[in-house]
């Protein structure tokens, strides 16, 4: 049976979002690769936090005053899926309470691999 991996309340845009840091993402990516086939990657809750920063910064990230760039949601997804490094059958998004649109889960890409072109669609949810 394929695994389900859940990420909840990531709050991209918040200065406390640890996934904005490349060092954390390298360790996370290594862990996810070790899992093998992932049936569902579930993104739940408040993925973006535009209450603390702009929506653009939450999605795109920003460059800090130094050599380090902070990941936004779009770059984080691209980083996870670059070079087909993960075997994920489906991405599911379950909106958080701050999302004013439908509370229904959004499913993307059943039984197919994702590529960079697909990531633009996923990150526009």
For the stretch 52-97, pLDDT in tens is 778 888 888 876 655 556 778 888 888 888 867 788 898 898 887 6
pLDDT above 60 (res 100): no
31 versus 20: the higher-pLDDT residue is 31
pLDDT above 70 (res 125): no
- Please list, residue by residue across 35-60, b when 16 or more beta carbons sit within 10 angstroms of its beta carbon and e when fewer do: eeebbbbbbbbbbbbbeebeeebbbb
pLDDT at position 38: 92
pLDDT above 90 (res 4): yes
pLDDT at position 1: 67
Give the C-alpha separation, 101 to 26, whole Å.
33
């Amino acid at each position: 049976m394929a695994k389900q991996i859940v990420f909840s309340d990531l709050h991209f845009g918040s200065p406390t979002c640890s996934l904005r840091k490349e060092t954390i993402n390298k360790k996370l990516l290594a862990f996810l690769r070790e899992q093998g086939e992932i049936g569902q990657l579930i993104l739940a809750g408040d993925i973006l936090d535009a209450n603390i920063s702009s929506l653009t910064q939450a999605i795109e990230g920003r460059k800090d005053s130094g050599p380090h760039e902070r990941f936004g949601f779009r770059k984080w997804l691209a980083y996870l899926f670059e070079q087909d490094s993960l075997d994920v059958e489906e991405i599911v998004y379950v909106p958080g309470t701050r999302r004013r649109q439908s509370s229904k889960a959004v499913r993307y890409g059943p039984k197919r691999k994702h590529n960079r072109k697909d990531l633009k669609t996923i990150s526009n949810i």
